[in-house]
Amino acid sequence: MTGAEIEILYRDDDLVAVHKPAGLLVHRNTHAGREPFLLQTLRDLLGTRLYPVHRLDRPTSGLMIMALSPGAAAVLARQFAAQEVRKAYLAVVRGFTDEEGAIEWPLKSESGAEAPARTEFTRLGLVEIPHPVGPHPTARYSLVRVEPRTGRTHQIRRHFAHIRHPLVGDVLRGDGRQNRFFREHFGIRRLLLASVELRFRHPANGEEMRLQCPPDEEMRTLFAKLGWA
């Protein structure tokens, strides 16, 4: 992994926004050995210390922000903790979803405690492929814009699996037959989930910020093949 593979989308004196590639760890993982991770790669690229204020799972790609000072980090972290930051993602899921909806289903944390969780979504596209992936003669998929209102671990994946529309490429809660179909027919070997928008208050002046990031080339190419261009 090189800095050239990480696109810097925005930078000022207080924060930097980047596009994180799918499959890249954000922090060093004791089980990953010498594998590169986003935080160190960015430090090397920018020549400055960085302060994470939120995270993206390893298989998720897209928009992520980091603070450039402890003060900015504290302000942004408080916004994330208070669920004041508005986040939006694009995801490809199995089946035809409703045009829009909200999933309210409590999720357990690693400690076993349940916490309220809410995920809102809007369907942006549908496709039906004449291929019998499962028990039906065709395979159906939806492109959805997802806005989680809470920030639970793996919330989007867990919520869509709960309503029986698992994300394509989810190896933990997804549909193995659908994942295999996408590998064999489209060359897709990843989770189809991308962070595309963050709305928050700037840590220095409180100005409303709206940062956006299109999905990466691999996802855009897939969308074109599925008629979602």
Q: Are 45 and 19 in contact (CB under 8 A)?
A: no
- DSSP 8-class letter at 1: -
Element containing residue 79 per DSSP (H, E)? helix 70-81
Which of these is catalytic: 57, 98, 170, 216?
57
**DSSP 3-state of 87:** strand
The sign of the CA dihedral 171, 174, 178, 182 is negative
Largest CA distance in the chain: 57
Q: Are 146 and 156 in contact (CB under 8 A)?
A: yes
Q: Are 119 and 106 in contact (CB under 8 A)?
A: no
Q: Does the active-site annotation cover 57?
A: yes
- C-alpha pair distances (Å), 146 with each of 1, 100, 220: 28, 10, 17
Active site residues: 57
